[in-house]
DNA sequence: CCTACCGATCGGTAGG
DNA sequence: CCTACCGATCGGTAGG
């Protein structure tokens, strides 16, 4: 499986951002120093500033690339002409795949977006809200058409969305199952839980 | 509903730990300074050291109190004589309630245990693993008895466990639904997803 | 419980 | 890309 979030290009700036994402994911944004990022790339910390302008800028790049990817993917699926339940399935599969393939960036966007400096923090919060509202609207529609059991659509969305974060534990503890089976198992549990 | 994790006593040390947990949850362990914790309690930072010995000690207290609570609760339910599916339900409800009632401590234990100093970090990792193994064993038993659909029991556990973390979003975004309905909706979705 | 202060580390700049 | 270094902030100690 290929990465979902596009690698814009292979500039030095991109490479620094990827190295930063890996370290932010392992140790947390606040606990990762510019010196550690530099060391991972084999240079001294001040050299990084020839390519990036601040630590915060890298966090912004990571978060918004993930956020944009989610939103544009949702819009694409919404218009793809497939059946209602198939749309929900495709969206869930997209979440799982991004957790598997773009784990570092996804993890950082999910856990460290609160450290975004202020105009961006609020903007990212709005993006998340917008995404959940779209998803919740789709589920509410399915409930009206009796394709989904009657639940509070907001609760259903937050449950499904965080269920998928279970892939975290899969990454960390041995990967005793292959990625495709992992996806099938999660999809089976969630779709069965939702479907009427 | 009452808090699940016991308030051991109301010593000054306990109060400091609770204030710390609230700030760790809001801003993260690494991003919270001893000066901020002191300010929340109306004293100067060095005064805290008359009651606690280090910042890490507070994190340890938080994580292991949560961990112990999960483990002892699981053992209690396992022996309560109820039907298999009822046990799974009770365990899920316990998770949801701890997310609702002891949110600060639970959140910190879940997100910041990686900052535990080293003998404790590994020990906590083992506790988590032991808990998941117990839960996964219970589900595997249910699958053998055809009470649960055939899934990889490890994947089922990590999906259920992280689904419950969706209560996060509930805390943060308005609480438009009451706690009891929140619990019923999550339980309905997950049990339906599992039950055969 | 306080003031005064420590050594370490941080993000980032100057200048080449 | 480097060395040298800045001001700020950190967890924690000394001493009262």
pLDDT tens profile B39-50: 999 999 999 999
CA of A158, closest CA in chain B: separation in Å?
5
Predicted confidence at residue B8, as pLDDT, reads 65
% of chain A beyond a pLDDT of 70: 97
At A125 the three-state DSSP class reads helix
At A195 the three-state DSSP class reads strand
Cβ contact, residue pair B114, A159, below 8 Å: no
Using an 8 Å CB-CB cutoff, list chain B residues near A152: 177, 181-182, 185
Across B30-40, average pLDDT:
98
Predicted confidence at residue A174, as pLDDT, reads 85
Provide the chain B residues 98-137 that lie in CB contact (below 8 A) with chain A. Answer: 111, 114-115, 129, 132
Whether residue B152 lies within 8 A of chain A, CB to CB, comes out as yes
Rg value, chain A, Cα: 18
Task: Give tens-digit pLDDT for A127-157.
Answer: 999 999 999 999 999 999 999 999 999 999 9
SS3 breakdown of chain A: % helix, strand, coil, rounded to 5? 75, 0, 25
- Three-state secondary structure readout of chain B: CCCCCCCCCCCHHHHHHHHHHHHHHHHCCCCCCHHHHHHHHCCCHHHHCCCCCCHHHHHHHHHHHHHHHHHHHHHHHHCCCCCHHHHHHHHHHHHHHHHHHCHHHHHHHHHHHHHCCHHHHHHHHHHHHHHHHHHHHHHHHHHHCCCECCCCHHHHHHHHHHHHHHHHHHHHCCCCCCHHHHHHHHHHHHHHHHEC
Among partner residues B162, B168, B191, which is closest to A163 by beta-carbon distance?
B162
C-alpha separations of B31 from A30, A114, A148, B164 in Å? 6, 11, 42, 26
Nearest-CA neighbor of A87 among A26, A135, A48?
Answer: A135
CA A54 to C1' C14, in angstroms, rounded, equals: 17
Across B110-122, average pLDDT:
96
- Which chain A residue is nearest to residue B163, measuring alpha carbons? A163
Predicted confidence at residue A87, as pLDDT, reads 97
Cβ contact, residue pair A161, B156, below 8 Å: no
CA A13 to C1' D4, in angstroms, rounded, equals: 25
Provide the chain A residues 12-71 that lie in CB contact (below 8 A) with chain B. Answer: 27-28, 30-31
Cβ contact, residue pair A170, B155, below 8 Å: yes
CA A38 to C1' D2, in angstroms, rounded, equals: 13
CA of B30, closest CA in chain A: separation in Å?
6
């Amino acid at each position: 499986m290929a990465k979902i979030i596009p690698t814009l290009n292979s500039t030095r700036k991109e490479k620094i951002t990827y190295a930063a994402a890996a370290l932010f994911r392992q140790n947390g944004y606040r606990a990762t120093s510019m010196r550690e990022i530099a060391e991972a790339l084999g240079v001294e910390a001040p050299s990084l500033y020839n390519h990036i302008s601040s630590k915060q800028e890298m966090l912004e790049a990571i978060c918004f690339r993930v956020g944009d990817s989610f939103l544009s993917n949702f819009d694409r699926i919404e218009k793809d002409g497939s059946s209602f339940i198939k749309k929900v399935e495709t969206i869930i599969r997209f979440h799982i795949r991004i957790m598997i393939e773009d784990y570092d960036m996804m993890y950082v966007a999910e856990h460290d977006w609160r450290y975004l400096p202020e105009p961006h923090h609020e903007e990212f919060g709005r993006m998340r809200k917008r995404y959940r509202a779209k998803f919740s609207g789709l589920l509410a529609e399915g409930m009206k058409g009796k394709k989904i059991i009657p639940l509070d659509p907001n609760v259903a969305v937050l449950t499904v969305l965080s269920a998928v974060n279970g892939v975290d534990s899969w990454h960390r503890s041995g990967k005793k199952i292959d990625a495709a089976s992992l996806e099938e198992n999660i999809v089976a549990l969630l779709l069965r839980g939702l479907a009427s």
